Amino acid sequence: MGSIRLEGVRKVFGKTTVIPGVDLDIEDGTFVVFVGPSGCGKSTLLRLIAGLEDVSGGRIIIDGKDVAKLPAAKRGLSMVFQSYALYPHMTARNNIGFGLRMAGRPRDEVTRKVDAVSEVLNLSLYLDRKPGELSGGQRQRVAIGRAIVREPKAFLFDEPLSNLDAALRVQMRLEIARLQKSLATTTIYVTHDQVEAMTLADKIVVLNAGRVEQVGSPLELYASPANLFVAGFIGSPRMNFVSGDLAAPFGAATIGVRPEHIAVSREGDGWRGTISASEHLGSDTFLYIDVPQTSGITARAVGELGLKEGDDVRLAPDQGRIHRFDAQGQALR
């Protein structure tokens, strides 16, 4: 079991309000990702749930019990840190089993559980090494092993992959997803990388300046962002925003169109523009197009197009996929 509920959780550092008040419901077994630009308070919120920071107000309810005043050690959660934070003086085996040993579990039970976890994480060969003798990826596995061996109510991940190289990151991302599915333990995962958020989450919480902008499944956020911030944050390359005269026919202050929802052609209907730059990735082509009355439009096309810089083109946004926003930046439905 591990349902987590935040009620008006606030955090103030000195005179700075980092989190003005967050309400959130996390059901048992879900994989929730906190995502947002750096400094948005996502790590702070995670540390408040963990108990590594004291809340300035509000309640944190885990399985029906308010734990806001309990120390981290008594909340029954486990955490994987960005810096791994392994115990440098212990072997991988002792790192993983430390919590269990300290909880007074019998020696053979600890050995059995550590062996089982290291089997799952492919760590069996490295159990007698100290953290200093392990690679980044192996250290991260030990940190994950340490978190899962205690069978906590929930896992907390604080940007766990940001110290790994790109290839390893993709691999570990898959492993974390697979692991969470098989354990079905509630997971809160903090990242600034929206690809991680989109691929891992059952539910994404988009944070901005300590406030929850939107909560929803990855595809919900992609298909119907609640406001300009979410619309701009989710999706890569980011959504194009057009205001003024071009938006007026749609009955909105601003409209947004994702690069993949714009058809580019030499002739036909749509906005006129000139290609200022193009990027060819093989599978995709990104076109950066100067369009009068906009700050430039990005379009994404599958495969290779026979277009080059300086060409005049027509842009036709997919009418069914235009996002409309009012003057306050809220989505119009």
Partner 1 sequence: MARRVSIARAATITVVAWMVGFVIFFPILWMVLTSFKTELEAFSMPPKFLRFHWTLENYAIVQQRSDYIAHVWNSIAISFGSVSLSMLIAIPAAWAMAFAPTERTRGTLLWMLSTKMMPSVGVLVPIYLIYRDLGLLDTRLGLIALLCLADLPIVIWMLYTYFKEIPMGILEASRMDGIGPVREVVFVLAPIALPGIASTILLNVILAWNEAFWTLNLTTSKAAPLTAFIASYSSPEGLFWAKLSAASTLAIAPILVLGWLSQRQLVRGLTFGAVK
* Contact positions vs partner 1 (CB under 8 A): 50-52, 71-74, 76-79, 81, 83, 85-89, 98-99, 102-103, 143, 146-147, 150, 156
Cβ at position 64, least distance to partner 1 in Å: 20
245 Cβ neighbours under 8 A, 6+ residues apart: 293
* CB atoms near residue 331 (< 10 Å): 18
Residue 264 to residues 259, 268, 305, 327, Cα–Cα distance (Å):
10, 9, 9, 28
Give CA 110 to chain center in angstroms.
33
24, β-bridge pairs:
6
Cβ at position 170, least distance to partner 1 in Å: 25
* CB atoms near residue 166 (< 10 Å): 8
Q: CB-wise, 88 or 282, nearer to partner 1?
A: 88
Tokens of 46: 């995670």
Q: CB-wise, 46 or 231, nearer to partner 1?
A: 46
Cβ at position 79, least distance to partner 1 in Å: 4
* CB atoms near residue 276 (< 10 Å): 13
Residue among 5, 27, 4 nearest 184 (CA): 27
Q: CB-wise, 49 or 120, nearer to partner 1?
A: 49
Q: CB-wise, 88 or 310, nearer to partner 1?
A: 88
Contacts 24+ apart (CB under 8 A), 280-283: 280/304
Cβ at position 239, least distance to partner 1 in Å: 36
Cβ at position 131, least distance to partner 1 in Å: 10
Residue type (1 letter), 145? G
Q: CB-wise, 89 or 181, nearer to partner 1?
A: 89
Cβ at position 47, least distance to partner 1 in Å: 8
In this structure, what DSSP letter does residue 227 have? B
Cβ at position 24, least distance to partner 1 in Å: 20
CB distance 265 to 313 below 8 Å: yes
Tokens of 232: 């701009």
Q: CB-wise, 132 or 282, nearer to partner 1?
A: 132
Cβ at position 83, least distance to partner 1 in Å: 5
Backbone dihedral angles phi then psi of residue 198, each to the nearest 5 degrees: -65, -40
Whole-angstrom distance, CA of residue 146 vs CA of residue 78: 8
Cβ at position 109, least distance to partner 1 in Å: 15
Whole-angstrom distance, CA of residue 153 vs CA of residue 2: 5
Q: CB-wise, 102 or 302, nearer to partner 1?
A: 102
CB distance 208 to 34 below 8 Å: no
Whole-angstrom distance, CA of residue 38 vs CA of residue 20: 17
Q: CB-wise, 79 or 255, nearer to partner 1?
A: 79
Q: CB-wise, 129 or 324, nearer to partner 1?
A: 129
